[in-house]
């Protein structure tokens, strides 16, 4: 293919992206050197085919043989960018007791001296030097993509183990499992899951007498397996045995998240889609915007378009779709609308710290959050730490690659329970998240101010 650069200019005339045309790839092709962000423009087709173009046994054997190399390549990329040594903080716990990993774990660019010194560099200089530490993360097998489950999950659910690719981010940097489950209708009960994973086998006994009949039906649908693009009973699959599919709660475990990844369904070709970390469903009752980029406005609509087919309607009939009726997705919206945030005993009813309960570091962090750090501009406390809109941070100012565009402002409420951070999980710890935004927003935070800000975020 002839190399052809595509220059994209800002209104000020500053070059911020340079791309080459998308290559022709088929499912199973290994990720290109340099990542998929180097490509841009239009792909060859918006549609996928419901057959693999080869016998299933051939596909399975070929993918199984190349998986070690695929997994090794993904880990090589992570190790080149991060120190993956697990350093849990025994004083910082998620809702059910898992210790948070301490960062930052991204490698400080050579010669920078400190993160604070690096943040003072001009974006164009960082881009030219190729030293930005928080570039986009690709799906480990971007050409096939689809749902990819963490190692702790496939150890418990071997039916979700793929023969073509394994998960990359270590368990240390992922949410606890099973997570707690909180309901707006029963705050007096605390964690209504009782410390177990909610499944089709136990949902009725767990919630009979707690949920309304409509909410119960919505929950039943959330724990019912449905076939997906690559998890089904046909030969268009990535599991060795025919699969019953996955449930909503396979990724959104107990209405929260296990850190499973997918590709955002909002663009084509596959190389044009962004890796997406599974968001929590906690607090959906308070949001006006759903999905990361498409501005879905209701929980019922969100339940209708949940991407069991990678957003590809052409595959639904061939693989065996969900075919849910409006009344059913309405009921899925009903259960979504009562999933609550975890308790935050240090916050008052306006989501501000209660001085008598907060530490000095947390109080200093709140002041930084609302002031110098500029966090509160997009994450206002009174609105559950989201402004319910989308923002384009123009991160491509710092690296040579395709712009990712605006992404929804996710809530920071209960943020300690939802590592890793940012839409693709490239920020493995809260310390990395603070470093990232200090660089992007040029806030000029000191090392001590960053520590205070992390302390505050842990209290949310």
Each residue's pLDDT tens digit, 82-129: 999 999 999 999 999 999 999 999 999 999 999 999 999 999 999 999
- Counting residues of the chain whose pLDDT is more than 70, the rounded percentage is 95
How far is 166 from 298, CA to CA, in rounded Å? 33
CATH of the domain at 443: 1.10.760
Per-residue pLDDT at 1:
30
Per-residue pLDDT at 293:
77
Range of the domain at 113: 79-138+345-458
What is the rounded average pLDDT of the residues 207-226?
97
276 domain residue, yes or no: no
377 domain residue, yes or no: yes
What is the rounded average pLDDT of the residues 239-244?
96
Compute φ and ψ for 90, nearest 5 degrees: -65, -15
84 domain residue, yes or no: yes
Terminal Cα-to-Cα distance of the chain (whole angstroms): 50
pLDDT confidence band for 3 (50 / 70 / 90): very low
Alpha-carbon separation of residue 185 from 193, 334, 385 (angstroms): 14, 12, 21
If DSSP codes are grouped into helix, strand and coil, which group holds residue 154? helix
How far is 377 from 379, CA to CA, in rounded Å? 6
149 domain residue, yes or no: no
Q: Which of 10-14, 116-120, 322-326, 375-379 has the lowest mean pLDDT?
A: 10-14
Nearest to 56, CA basis, from 240, 212, 191, 202: 240
pLDDT confidence band for 233 (50 / 70 / 90): very high
Per-residue pLDDT at 410:
94
pLDDT confidence band for 51 (50 / 70 / 90): confident
pLDDT confidence band for 303 (50 / 70 / 90): confident
Alpha-carbon separation of residue 89 from 92, 94, 96, 98 (angstroms): 5, 11, 14, 9
If DSSP codes are grouped into helix, strand and coil, which group holds residue 296? strand
pLDDT confidence band for 58 (50 / 70 / 90): very high
pLDDT confidence band for 319 (50 / 70 / 90): confident
Per-residue pLDDT at 19:
67
What is the rounded average pLDDT of the residues 1-27?
56
Does residue 140 carry a pLDDT above 80?
A: yes
If DSSP codes are grouped into helix, strand and coil, which group holds residue 89? strand
160 domain residue, yes or no: no
Number of structural domains (the chain) is: 1
Per-residue pLDDT at 320:
80
- What is the β-pairing status of strands 99-101 and 88-93? antiparallel
If DSSP codes are grouped into helix, strand and coil, which group holds residue 347? strand
Per the CB < 8 A criterion, the answer to whether 254 and 268 are in contact is: no
List pLDDT tens digits, range 350-370: 999 999 999 999 999 999 999
Per the CB < 8 A criterion, the answer to whether 6 and 18 are in contact is: yes
pLDDT confidence band for 297 (50 / 70 / 90): confident
Does residue 14 carry a pLDDT above 60?
A: no
For 198, how many CA atoms within 13 A lie in the half-sphere containing its CB? 30
Q: Give the tokens for residue 418.
A: 């939802």
Per-residue pLDDT at 12:
37
452 domain residue, yes or no: yes
373 domain residue, yes or no: yes
How far is 159 from 154, CA to CA, in rounded Å? 7
37 domain residue, yes or no: no
Does residue 418 carry a pLDDT above 60?
A: yes
Does residue 5 carry a pLDDT above 50?
A: no
Q: Burial of 213 by CB count in 10 Å (0-12 exposed, 13-18 middle, 19+ buried)?
A: exposed
Per-residue pLDDT at 17:
45
How far is 123 from 399, CA to CA, in rounded Å? 8
Nearest to 347, CA basis, from 385, 376, 373: 385
Compute φ and ψ for 20, nearest 5 degrees: -110, 155
Number of neighbouring beta carbons within 10 Å of residue 441: 16
The helices-and-strands tally (H runs, E runs) of the chain is: 13, 9
Nearest to 252, CA basis, from 281, 224, 225: 281
Per-residue pLDDT at 4:
38
Stretch (H or E) spanning 263: strand 261-263
Alpha-carbon separation of residue 176 from 53, 169, 257, 392 (angstroms): 40, 14, 9, 30
Per-residue pLDDT at 311:
79
Give the angle subtended at the CA of 423 by the CAs of 115 and 198, to the nearest 5°. Answer: 125
Per-residue pLDDT at 18:
52
How far is 440 from 237, CA to CA, in rounded Å? 40
pLDDT confidence band for 8 (50 / 70 / 90): very low
- Residue 73 is given by DSSP the state H
Does residue 10 carry a pLDDT above 60?
A: no
List pLDDT tens digits, range 143-155: 999 999 999 999 9
Does residue 381 carry a pLDDT above 90?
A: yes
pLDDT confidence band for 15 (50 / 70 / 90): very low
Mean pLDDT of the chain: 93
Q: Give the tokens for residue 325.
A: 């009726």
Per-residue pLDDT at 11:
38
List pLDDT tens digits, range 65-84: 999 999 999 999 999 999 99
């Amino acid at each position: 293919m002839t190399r052809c650069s595509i220059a994209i200019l800002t209104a000020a005339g500053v070059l911020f992206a340079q791309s080459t045309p998308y290559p022709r790839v088929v499912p199973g092709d290994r990720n290109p050197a340099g990542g998929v962000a180097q490509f841009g423009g239009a792909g060859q087709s918006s549609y996928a085919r419901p057959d693999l173009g080869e016998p299933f046994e051939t596909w399975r054997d070929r993918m199984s043989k190349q998986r070690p190399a695929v997994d090794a390549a993904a880990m090589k990329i992570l190790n080149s960018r991060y120190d993956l040594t697990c350093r849990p903080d025994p004083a910082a716990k998620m809702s059910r007791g898992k210790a948070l990993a301490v960062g930052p774990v991204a490698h400080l660019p050579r010669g920078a001296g400190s993160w604070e010194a690096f943040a003072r560099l001009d974006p164009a200089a960082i881009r030219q030097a190729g030293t930005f530490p928080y570039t986009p993360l690709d799906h480990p097998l971007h050409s096939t993509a689809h749902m990819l489950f963490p190692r702790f999950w496939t150890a418990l659910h071997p039916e979700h183990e793929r023969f073509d690719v394994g998960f990359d981010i270590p368990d240390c940097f992922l949410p606890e499992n099973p997570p707690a489950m909180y309901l707006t209708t029963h705050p007096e009960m605390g964690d209504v899951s009782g410390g177990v994973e909610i499944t089709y086998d136990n949902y009725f006994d767990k919630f009979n007498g707690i949920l309304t009949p409509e909410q119960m039906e919505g929950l039943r649908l959330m724990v019912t397996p449905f076939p997906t693009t690559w998890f089904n009973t046909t030969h268009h699959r990535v599991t060795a045995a025919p699969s019953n599919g996955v449930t909503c709660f396979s990724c959104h475990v107990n209405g929260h998240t296990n850190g499973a990844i997918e590709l955002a369904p909002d663009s084509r070709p596959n190389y044009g889609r962004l890796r997406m970390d599974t968001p929590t469903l906690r607090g959906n009752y308070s949001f006006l915007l759903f999905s990361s980029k498409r501005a879905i406005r209701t929980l019922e609509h969100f339940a209708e378009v949940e991407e069991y087919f990678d957003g590809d309607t052409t595959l639904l009939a061939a693989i065996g779709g969900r075919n849910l009726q409006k009344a059913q997705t309405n009921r899925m919206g009903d259960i979504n609308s009562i999933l609550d945030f975890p308790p935050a005993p240090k916050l008052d009813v306006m989501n501000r710290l209660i001085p008598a309960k907060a530490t000095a570091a947390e109080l200093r962090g709140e002041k930084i959050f609302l002031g110098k750090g500029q966090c509160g501009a997009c994450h206002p406390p009174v609105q559950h730490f989201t402004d319910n809109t989308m923002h384009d941070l123009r991160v491509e100012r710092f690296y040579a690659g395709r712009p990712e565009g605006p992404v929804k402002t996710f809530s920071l409420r209960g943020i300690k329970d939802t590592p890793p951070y940012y839409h693709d999980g490239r920020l493995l710890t809260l310390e990395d998240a603070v470093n990232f935004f200090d660089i992007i927003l040029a806030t000029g935070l000191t090392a001590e101010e960053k520590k205070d800000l992390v302390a505050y975020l842990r209290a949310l």
